[in-house]
Structure 1
Amino acid sequence: MLESNLKLRLFQRSTRSLTLTEAGERFLHSVRDHVESLQGAIAEASNGQSEPTGVLRLSMSPTFGVEYILPTLPEFMRRYPLIRPEWMFENRQVDLIAEGYDAAIGGGFELTPGIIAKTLASAHIIAVASPSYLEGRISPHDPSGLVELDGIVMRSMRTGRIRQWQMRDVAGEEQPATLKERIVVNDPSAMRSAAVLGLGVAMIAKPDALPYLEKGELVRLIPAWYADAGPISIYYANRTFLPEKTRLFVDFISEAFQRERWPERFAGTLG
């Protein structure tokens, strides 16, 4: 009926397959968001008097996700037992819409059309080392002194370059943080582990360092200085009718960040 009304062939048909024509692909691309909105509205109306259900597909980085987001899961499942989590821990930026994710948590995502980012906390980078490494060494007073120490640095898998940071203090002064490339890895958790082992100084996100700082396994160097890596956000599709499961999770994780005081504890401005 649709093909007849449009006077277009939308499908290529055979006895074994049914595929879209080029015109069909264009038509699907044009109406997809509207169809999803309609389906969301129907689901919202039909589930208005019942518990929220469905699969909640979430993407996040392994280190941050396992340390902070995964421990919130028992409470979320107690509140919403009919929602089934499908959580992926991966070091990459996913395409929420194309890959069928409900949400993603992280930083540095490209805000493509139709995606909303809700800031949860700041991602500040700090310099850390183990007490055993610092024993007998003079701690630097500002970022320029870091070059005298053994650096544990990260090479970007995307660009192939060593990540460099520009540090600042609360007064607004800025200095480059140049580390001697003593050890090169490609993963933030490996940088942290190497620092805990006493192999040198690493520039890592404060959330990644925080449990080890609190246990005394790492020490923060030049505590008046930090680098800003942008916000930690939760990303989700901008839809007129956001699925109930997604809306509930966005609210839930925002509450968890405030309850645990993570925005304050993750801030590199607090030495």
Structure 2
Amino acid sequence: MDQLLAIRAFARVVEAGTFTKAADSLQMPNATVTKLIQSLESHLGVKLLQRTTRRVSVTPDGAAYYEKTGRLLKELGDIDGSFGTERVKPRGHLRIDCGGSTASLLLIPALPDFVRRYPDIQIDLGVSDRHVDLISDNVDCVIRGGVLTDMSMIGRQIGAAGWVTCATPAYLAEHGVPTHPDDLSSGHRVVNYLSARTGRAMPMHFRKDGERIEVAVRHAVGVNESNAHYAAGLAGLGVIQTFRYNAQAQLASGELVAILPDWQPEPYPFYVVYPPNRHMSNRLRVFIDWIAERFAAAALGS
């Protein structure tokens, strides 16, 4: 048995959903694909696929085997690409994960430039504020802010975003304008950002002349996604602390008013994070260089 060919045939059946479609895409007879997978199942001693007259389904063992071998096939493709045409003209599949506001305001508006430069790279963009597991979720890289905690990954800093604490004019007319961070704990409503990982409210941070203050206020409304958190502040539900690039247009139009301008938190670092891999694909390499370039050019208000 050619085990690598059998693995490729198995993966193609899983992805195509039928032996016939898999055989057509591999330009093999249907009987050859069937024999390869039977040999693979015999070699492993497990059933990978359940086949009926109408459909093919993946067994639990098959799903686990597909996930593990899929990474190997991808890495093998990356190795081959580093010696072939992919080195000159990057191509293939790139899976990226990014937070909501970063995606909608920074990454997606810039993506047409990347697509023009690298039209043969197919991008799958996952958008959420949850922290994905790059290995188990089969993600090539993530764009994330804050302190890097997973030392098993590689992080390249690509920028730093400034903060703004703000509220709507109507809210401030009703509740007054705070002059010190401690004022937020008395007579004010705060829209807290809830950690997508822990569900806990993230405190607001302030800094002035070397003094640092952390304010944790019980909220009437808490939100665990960055775009929705910002929308809650824009709706007048309370004071929010958000990235300045988020609020720039509404601050300029007067829909939001910056408060406590002398109390500025530390800029928030942003990183592109990816697994350590001796055989980094050229498509990932060009994306990392491109996103670093775009973030350097972006007005993050840091």
**TM-score using structure 1 length:** 0.77
2:149 is the alignment partner of 1:149: no
User: Which structure is richer in relative contact order (CA contacts within 8 A, separation 6 or more)?
Assistant: 1
2:165–2:241: 8 Å Cα contact kept in structure 1? yes
Q: 1:116 to 1:45 in 2, by over 3 A?
A: same
2:237 is the alignment partner of 1:204: no
Match of 2:284 among 242, 246, 251: 246
2:219 is the alignment partner of 1:181: yes
Kindly report the root-mean-square deviation, in angstroms, between the aligned alpha carbons of the 2 structures. 3.3
Question: How much has 1:65 moved relative to structure 2?
Answer: 0.4
2:196–2:225: 8 Å Cα contact kept in structure 1? no
1:57–1:101: 8 Å Cα contact kept in structure 2? yes
Q: Which amino acid aligns with 1:221?
A: I
Q: Which residue in 2 is equivalent to 1:6?
A: none
2:96–2:141: 8 Å Cα contact kept in structure 1? yes
SS of residue matched to 1:122? strand
Q: Which amino acid aligns with 1:89?
A: V
Q: 1:241 to 1:199 in 2, by over 3 A?
A: same
2:245–2:299: 8 Å Cα contact kept in structure 1? no
Q: Which residue in 1 is equivalent to 2:160?
A: 122
Q: 1:119 to 1:211 in 2, by over 3 A?
A: farther
Q: Which residue in 2 is equivalent to 1:215?
A: 253
Matches within 5 A, 1:68-87: 68-87=106-125
Question: Unpaired segments of 5 or more residues in structure 2?
Answer: 4-41, 51-57
In 2, the alpha carbon distance for the partners of 1:47 and 1:160 equals 46
Pair member with larger Rg: 2
Question: How much has 1:228 moved relative to structure 2?
Answer: 4.1
1:149–1:179: 8 Å Cα contact kept in structure 2? no
1:126–1:225: 8 Å Cα contact kept in structure 2? no
Q: Which amino acid aligns with 1:79?
A: R
Match of 2:96 among 54, 58, 65: 58
Q: 1:186 to 1:43 in 2, by over 3 A?
A: closer
SS of residue matched to 1:97? coil
Question: How much has 1:61 moved relative to structure 2?
Answer: 1.4
Q: Which residue in 2 is equivalent to 1:140?
A: 178
In 2, the alpha carbon distance for the partners of 1:143 and 1:127 equals 10
In 2, the alpha carbon distance for the partners of 1:98 and 1:123 equals 29
Q: Which amino acid aligns with 2:223?
A: V
2:190–2:238: 8 Å Cα contact kept in structure 1? yes
In 2, the alpha carbon distance for the partners of 1:254 and 1:143 equals 34
Question: How much has 1:251 moved relative to structure 2?
Answer: 0.7
1:151–1:181: 8 Å Cα contact kept in structure 2? yes
In 2, the alpha carbon distance for the partners of 1:218 and 1:247 equals 39
Question: How much has 1:38 moved relative to structure 2?
Answer: 5.5
Q: Which residue in 2 is equivalent to 1:46?
A: 84
Q: Which amino acid aligns with 2:193?
A: M
In 2, the alpha carbon distance for the partners of 1:234 and 1:144 equals 35
1:143–1:178: 8 Å Cα contact kept in structure 2? no
In 1, the alpha carbon distance for the partners of 2:47 and 2:206 equals 62
In 2, the alpha carbon distance for the partners of 1:189 and 1:244 equals 32
2:192 is the alignment partner of 1:159: no
Greater Cα shift, 80-89 or 129-138:
129-138
Query: How many pairs does the alignment contain?
Result: 249
Question: Unpaired segments of 5 or more residues in structure 1?
Answer: 4-8
In 2, the alpha carbon distance for the partners of 1:258 and 1:155 equals 28
Greater Cα shift, 39-48 or 68-77:
39-48
SS of residue matched to 1:200? coil
Structure with the largest fraction of strand: 1
Q: Which residue in 2 is equivalent to 1:88?
A: 126
User: Equivalent pairs: percent with the same residue?
Assistant: 27
SS of residue matched to 2:285? helix
